[in-house]
Amino acid sequence: MNTPIDLMSAITGPAASGPSDHRWFPPGTHITVRGLTKRFGATTLYENFNLDIPRGQLISIFGPNGCGKSTLINMMSGILPIDGGEVLFDGKALRDTRIGYVFQNYREAMFPWLRAIDNLRYPLKFLKLSKAEKDARVERMIARFDVKIDLHRYPYELSGGQQQMVSIMRALIVDPEVLFMDEPFSALDYEMTLFMREQLQKVFMETRTTTLLVSHDLEEAVHLADKILLLTRKPTHVADYISFDAPRPRDTATLSTPEFVRVKAHSLEVFQREVRKP
Amino acid sequence: MKPSLKEHLLALLAKLAPLWGALVFVALWWIATSLKVIDPILLPSPADSAKALWKGMMGGSLWHDFLRTVTRTLLSFIIAVAIAVPLGIVLGSSDKIYRAVEFIIDFFRSTPASAMFPLFLVLFGVGEKTKIAVAAFGAALVILFNVAYGVMNARKLRQLAARVMGASRIGVLTDVTFWESMPQTFVGMRSGVSLALVIVIVAEMFIGSTDGLGQRVINSQMIFDMPEMYASIFAAGALGYCLNLLFLSIERKFVHWGGK
Ligand SMILES: Nc1ncnc2c1ncn2[C@@H]1O[C@H](COP(=O)(O)OP(=O)(O)OP(=O)(O)O)[C@@H](O)[C@H]1O
Ligand SMILES: [Mg+2]
């Protein structure tokens, strides 16, 4: 699905200029963040921030408390305005891009006046699809998550995990080009968290949607990611951007592989160095 | 385990608890009249009042007056809702507009609607229109205030969620903000309909009326037909009570997610 575009950027991207160029991006890049600037009052959170997100990969974002993880994906997804710079998706602006966003607070992100199924259907309203196509999408989404949820209930009648599941399905139903998730599992209990990580990974393997996942759990961040983006304290920069190439599906055995242990240890080291900086 | 007979009885007693208060009230009333503590002309016995209520409602003219008052109240309420809900949504969704008119709304909301009668009499003349206009005015301000408040306090996250899924500004308003304001809107509608009833009754008393519960209360008082007067008062009380109950049950059904 993405090969033609990959080829394109492979030909035109790097050949045209070198890595020192502001516009340069490596082949296979999906999202480019260039010169991003964000201030809150007198404090500068981001200043000339650059980032490349490769296509079809799951990127975990990890960093100190309040370093701007949420702010970063909120700016990318258009929830927060940016003060400078640009974010492009395949060279397109956000308004020409289909995105999905999963909020941490599922209770407040669902619409309690709609049944779960109508919550799920809601974003389809903004796509130009026939009724039959919409129904087919809903069916497909329900089949993809083989969880038994009575979707004719209202969100508040579902468990937290089920609500977040519906919320993820709602983000995916538009077949987004990019999926944003801000600590999606942090309000769930441990058992549910493990189950949801597994579900997320399964769906990711099927769809290969470029995904940005903010996580405050380093183990989770590494376990799910193709790349881990480590951020510094503010003013925020990229502290490190590490690849983790373990084959999928990854399970609990992955957690004890030398590669996992190495990447996690390295990430922790970078993180601690950042936190301890005066 | 099946609940025992005793538990059944206790549950029944608990359910009937509100009835006890009413029974005690009627008993005290009855004792007061039979001991002639209060002049029987001023306070007729519960039986006489009940008879007047029954006779009046069953084919008597009280039923007709009752319906007139209901009609006026509901009509003014509907007008109030039609004006106040859309206006409240607009006001609440714009900080600037709201701040500009907050004082005016708050001022008129605090002005007793009865003080507006003379003004409305001048505007609408002595007749049906004035009663309904004043009641609608009073109710609309209460509803407006509550709707605007509900809109302003809508969860920002839900609006963002709709936004990020592709809703336009108007879309966010109709798909999220409108629903978010519902619980508060219902609070406003309940107070609004109560207020409309109060104003309609007062208007029926003092603004050339030939029917309605308010006019009936005043008339029976003037001819000293006390059972009739108490019957009308009870009819008005029952009306207010039932309206509140009706709105509460609609609210519970409609705003099913409230408080969850
Ligand atoms: N609306 C705002 N006004 C002022 N400051 C803000 C605002 N939003 C965020 N900030 C500040 O920007 C910084 C980054 O916030 P952000 O929520 O993005 O951090 P985060 O990395 O997601 O934190 P957490 O680990 O708590 O989720 C914080 O220091 C916060 O105080
Ligand atoms: Mg955050």
Structural domain total, chain B:
2
> Which pLDDT score, from 0 to 100, does residue B3 have?
67
**Residue B65 · residue B209 · CB < 8 Å:** no
Judgement on whether residues B80 and B206 belong to the same structural domain of the protein: yes
pLDDT for B139 beyond 90: yes
B260 contact residues in A (CB cutoff 8 A) = 112, 156
Q: Which amino acid is at B76?
A: S
Quote the pLDDT of residue A96. Answer: 92
B21 and B87 fall within a common domain: no
Domain identity same for B106 and B207: yes
Mutation target to probe the B interface, by most B beta carbons within 10 A, among A79, A97, A113, A156 is A113
Closest residue of chain B to A80, computed from CA coordinates: B160
Burial classification of residue A124, based on how many CB atoms lie within 10 Å of its CB (0-12 exposed, 13-18 middle, 19 or more buried): buried
Residue-level pLDDT at B140: 95
Per-residue pLDDT, averaged over B221-238, amounts to: 91
In terms of domains, do B28 and B142 share one? no
**Given pLDDT bands bounded at 50, 70 and 90, which one contains residue A210?**
very high
A51 pLDDT more than 70? yes
Same domain? For B82 and B194 the reply is yes
Q: Are residues B12 and B56 in the same domain?
A: no
**SS3 assignment for chain A:** CCHHHHHHHHHHHHHHCCCCCCCCCCCCEEEEEEEEEEEECCEEEEEEEEEEEECCCEEEEECCCCCCHHHHHHHHCCCCCCCEEEEEECCECHHHCCEEEECCCHHHHCCCCCCHHHHHHHHHHHCCCCHHHHHHHHHHHHHHCCCCCCCCCCHHHCCHHHHHHHHHHHHHCCCCCEEEEECCCCCCCHHHHHHHHHHHHHHHHHHCCEEEEECCCHHHHHHHCCEEEEECCCCECEEEEEECCCCCCCCHHHHHCHHHHHHHHHHHHHHHHHHHCC
How does pLDDT run across A100-117, given as a tens digit for each residue?
A: 999 999 889 999 999 999
Q: Is B260 contained in some domain?
A: no
Cβ–Cβ gap A156/B176 under 8 Å: no
Gyration radius (Cα) of chain A, Å: 19
How far apart (Å, rounded) are the C-alpha atoms in residues A101 and A111? Answer: 15
For residue A1, what pLDDT is reported?
41
Contact by Cβ (8 Å): A207, A98: no
Contact A116, A149 (CB under 8 A): yes
**pLDDT of A32 above 80:** yes
Q: Tell me which of B20 and A76 has the higher pLDDT.
A: A76
Domain contains B90: yes
Contact A227, A57 (CB under 8 A): yes
Q: What is the pLDDT of residue A187?
A: 86
Separation of first and last alpha carbons in chain A = 47
**With 60 as the cut, is the pLDDT of residue A3 above it?**
no
| Among B164, B179, B256, beta carbon nearest to A77 | B164
- pLDDT band of residue A4 (cuts 50, 70, 90) is very low
At A212, the pLDDT band (50, 70, 90 cuts) reads very high
Q: What are B141-158's pLDDT values in tens digits?
A: 999 999 999 999 888 899
**How far, CA to CA in Å, does B257 sit from each of A115, B85, B91?**
11, 20, 24
pLDDT score of B172 more than 90: yes
- Could you tell me if residue B259 is inside a domain? no
Domain-located, residue B238: yes
Answer yes or no: is B39 within a domain: no
Q: Whose CA is nearest to atom 3 of ligand 1?
A: A40
Name chain A contacts of B178, Cβ cutoff 8 Å.
none
Q: Which pLDDT score is estimated for A114?
A: 96
Q: Let me know whether B11 and B133 are in one domain.
A: no
Do B106 and B225 fall within a single domain? Answer: yes
Q: Answer whether residue B191 is part of any domain.
A: yes
Q: Tell if the CB–CB gap between A108 and B157 is shorter than 8 Å.
A: yes
Tokens of A181: 């998730």
Burial of A147 (0-12, 13-18, 19+ CB in 10 A): middle
**The predicted structure's pLDDT at residue B98:** 86
B209 and B91 together in one domain: yes
- Give chain A positions within 8 Å (CB) of B165: 101, 122-123, 126, 170, 174
Q: Are residues B57 and B15 in the same domain?
A: no
Pocket test for ligand 1, best of A61, A69, A77, A275 (most atoms within 8 A of CB): A69
B142 within some domain: yes
- What is the domain extent for residue B201? 46-254
pLDDT computed for residue A18 by the predictor: 47
Domains along the sequence of chain A with CATH: 4-276 (3.40.50.300)
Cα(A167)–Cα(A109) distance, integer angstroms: 8
**Best CA proximity match to A116, nearest among A147, A162, A183:** A162
Q: What is the pLDDT of residue B2?
A: 65
Checking phi first, is residue A56 left (phi over 0); if not, alpha (psi -120 to 50) or beta?
A: left
> In this structure, what CATH number is given to the domain that contains residue B56?
1.10.3720.10
Provide, as residue numbers in chain B, all residues whose Cβ is less than 8 Å from the Cβ of A99.
164
Interatomic CA distance for residues A248 and A228, integer angstroms: 16
pLDDT at A11 over 60: no
- pLDDT, chain B, mean: 90
Round to whole Å and give the CA distance between A50 and B163.
26
Instruction: Summarize the confidence of residues B20-31 as an average pLDDT.
Output: 89
Structure-token pair, residue B109:
């909301």
- CA B110 to each of CA A212, B114, B152: distance values in angstroms, whole numbers, following the listed order: 52, 11, 21
Q: pLDDT digits over B74-91, tens only?
A: 999 999 999 999 999 889
A61 lines ligand 1 (CB under 6 A): no
Please tell me the predicted confidence (pLDDT) of residue A59: 97
pLDDT digits (tens, 9 = 90+) for A131-145: 999 999 999 998 888
Q: Are residues B247 and B217 in the same domain?
A: yes
At A86 the pLDDT is 94
Q: pLDDT value at position A21? A: 54
State the best of A77, A94, A111 to mutate against chain B, taking most chain B CBs within 10 Å: A111
Phi and psi torsions of A85, nearest 5° = 90, -170
Q: Is B50 exposed, middle or buried (0-12, 13-18, 19+ CB in 10 A)?
A: middle
Asked whether residue B41 is assigned to any structural domain, the reply reads no
pLDDT tens digits along B158-168:
999 999 999 99
